[in-house]
Amino acid sequence: MTAAAKPPAKPKPPPVFTVGIVLYPGFDILDVAGPHEVFGFFDGAAIGRTVKVATVAQTKAALPTSGVLRVLPEYDFGDCPPIDLLFVPGGGDGLDKAIGDKALLAFLRKAAKHARYVAGVCTGGLLLGAAGLLDGYEATTHWGFIDCLKLFPKVKVVNGCPRWVRDRNRITGGGISSSIDESLFLLDTLVADLAPGKASDKDRAALAELTTRQVQLSIQYNPQPPFSGGDPCSVDYAVFEPVNASMAGFREIVSKAILARP
């Protein structure tokens, strides 16, 4: 008698690429929703991996956002899987406490050691700065808090009003709505970097653009606001000054939190 034929081995599942979005009390919901939507529509086929979007915080208890919503993190600092793309959102009330939160900053440093990309949007750049993760890098933040970012002497704050800035594997974005633009840029970047095979740089760039355009179409991102402008580089002083003045109090609170760090 012949031995029974062994069943064919099951193919190994593709490795996981984890986008880790770090939450803290008072984070801005659009800063989180932008990357969550963009990477939620990316199946990972272009890089030969399964993509997981994970939210992580110090505990799994529901967290208040900068508005009235509350969010349940999927992981805590102890059970979070390895993060490939570390993404830090900005925040409103509570940002000053986050800047001095030793456990949060320690987690960011630990996660960044193994992450291929380290990103922050809006005032999330200030948290990266507080963790020392932007030392020696060019970076930006929400236009109203550029002076706060300049309080970190080793950070090279760029001029102008960019939607995002990339310096090596550090990517930072402007205020709030920049989260979508920056996330699409991140998607284009990682596909160009990680697409498997021996394709030329030109072919990889073409694949990255196609993939990103398809995701952009999936979320129907073709912004057409009722008015032009939206940053200090594109509006009249009459629009700028009242908004800038309204941020002065919070800007002072955040500045004091940065300067109070040990």
Q: Which residues are catalytic?
A: 122
DSSP 31-86: HHHHHHHHHHT--SGGGTSEEEEEEEESSSS-EEBSSS-EE--SEETTTPPPPSEE
**Cα distance between residue 226 and residue 224, in whole Å:** 7
- Nearest partner of 22 among 137, 93, 134, 115, judged by Cα: 115
Amino acid identity at 232 = P
Are 152 and 258 in contact by the 8 Å Cβ rule? The answer is yes
The contacts of residue 57 (CB under 8 Å, 6+ apart) are 22, 23, 24, 63, 73, 75, 76, 77
- Nearest partner of 125 among 173, 167, 164, 159, judged by Cα: 173
**Cα distance between residue 253 and residue 150, in whole Å:** 15
